[in-house]
Structure formats: structure tokens, C-alpha cells
Amino acid sequence: MTRYLTEDDALAAIAGLTQARRTTFLASRAVVPVQSDDGPLFCQIDLARLRLLCDLSNDFDLDDPAIAIVMSLIDQLHGARFVLQSLAMALANESEAVRERVGAALSAALR
């Protein structure tokens, strides 16, 4: 079951995360928590993104536009990884002949 943290719990859980910085990250939609009647609730993925955002800001001194670019690239990589995993699962269910044809076509395309 997914565990959610309140705004206060998220602020306490992440070193370097301030209320102002959290507000900026939410306004930029770099993190999109679940909305409840009591305010936003943060899941573990939200917390990981907040930690990464703080690291990029603090450790690498990236400004907001640069952070937006980095997060967009990370999201694109995760999306591509999901597509490749889905393709691999679909191919695993095909016959060996189909897998060999796809493998040969892929090898030829990558030359």
C-alpha cells in the first residue's frame, strides 16, 4: 500500500527542503502530489523527486530553468525505458523465429 506524507512530514523528511523551495517545485510541476481535502500528500516517488531537486539546486547550483531541463530529460529517459521493457516483454512472448527476425532488423537498423 502506498504511504503518503503531509507537507510538514515531507519538509521534515528531506534535508535542505524549505517551504519556499517546495512551493517553487510544486508551482513548476516538477512534483505533482496527490491533492486531498487536507492539502497535498506526497508519495515515495514525490519524495525522491524532491530530494533530487534539492540536490540539483544545492550541490550542482542549477537554476530553475536548468532544473526543468534536467527533470524533463530524466522523465523522457524513464519513459523510453518503460517502452523498451514493454517491447522486450512483448517479444519474449513471440516465437523464436519472430525474435530472430526482429533482432536481425534491429541490428541492421543500428549499423
Alpha helices (H) in the chain, listed in sequence order: 7-13, 19-27, 44-58, 64-92, 96-110
pLDDT along the chain (111 residues), means of 10: 90 93 92 94 96 93 91 96 97 96 95 93
Prediction pTM value: 0.79
CA 75 to chain centre: 5
Task: For residues 106 and 84, give the distance between their C-alpha atoms in angstroms, rounded to a whole number.
Answer: 13
Q: Please list, in sequence order, all residues whose beta carbon lies within 8 angstroms of the beta carbon of residue 81, skipping any fewer than 6 positions away.
A: none
Contact yes or no for 31/49 (Cβ under 8 A): yes
